[in-house]
Amino acid sequence: LALTPEEAAFRDELRTFYRTKIPEEIRERTRLGAEVSREDIVTSHKILNDNGLAVPNWPVEWGGKDWTPTQQQIWLDEMQLASVPEPLTFNANMVGPVIAAFGNQAQKEKFLPRAANLDDWWCQGFSEPGAGSDLASLRMRAERCAGGWKLSGSKIWTTYAQFANWIFCLVRTDPEAKKQGGISMVLVDMTSDGVSCRPIRLMDGTEEVNEVFFEEVFVSDDMVVGEIN
């Protein structure tokens, strides 16, 4: 497949940007497969966002780009060819698009600009002991209380939870519903009372993933994304 002259110019512009604006030492660590630090990821992500390149897949009103699929692919290809750390996927590809599509206006205004700029570091609270990819088997419960919900349970294999200040969780809000129902998405401040995090040491000696525990953690109603259950 051949690029049009306009697409080739777009590619060349990105190629130059990635190689001149992202610090070389960060790109070299990425290229070699060395450990990329939290600071490396934040630095790269913020530079991309300052130049409108962190979340092109989002709606335009929240920092996205009205790009063609080919432009989206060029954006990613050239980023990888230049060994630039990709924007934090939990922010850019997971929670951001969900809040943009299903969140209320207050949630969009509160969270999307900060997620795009990595002012908030998000992690994913889906997998549980005994319920990894089988999310219909999750057991972490959310019980109704005044003004919101009390969360109890745990999540596992939570990547970069040690860096995160917010976690998006799937929780069981109706234990009487069928397995595939009664599940809601909530946003939880990792500094809330009752939240704790324990690293899991991997076979290569790193501690990238974690267990996260919730002991009657209060989450207000305005932290539920979309419809309950």
Continuous segment of H or E residues that includes residue 196: strand 195-200
Collapsed DSSP state (helix, strand, coil) of residue 218: strand
Higher pLDDT, 55 or 206: 55
Give yes or no for residue 112 having a pLDDT over 80: yes
Q: What is the pLDDT of residue 131?
A: 86
Q: What is the pLDDT of residue 130?
A: 87
- CA 170 to chain centroid, in Å, comes to 14
pLDDT digits (tens, 9 = 90+) for 183-215: 999 999 999 999 999 999 999 888 899 999 999
Average pLDDT over residues 28-35: 92
Rounded to two decimals, what is the model's pTM?
0.93
Sort strands 148-155 and 122-125 into parallel, antiparallel or unpaired: unpaired
Q: Which pLDDT band holds residue 35 (cuts at 50, 70, 90)?
A: confident
The share of the chain scoring above pLDDT 90, in percent, equals 93
Give 82-123 as a 3 state SS string: CCCCCCCHHHHHHHHHHHHHHCCHHHHHHHHHHHHCCCCCEE
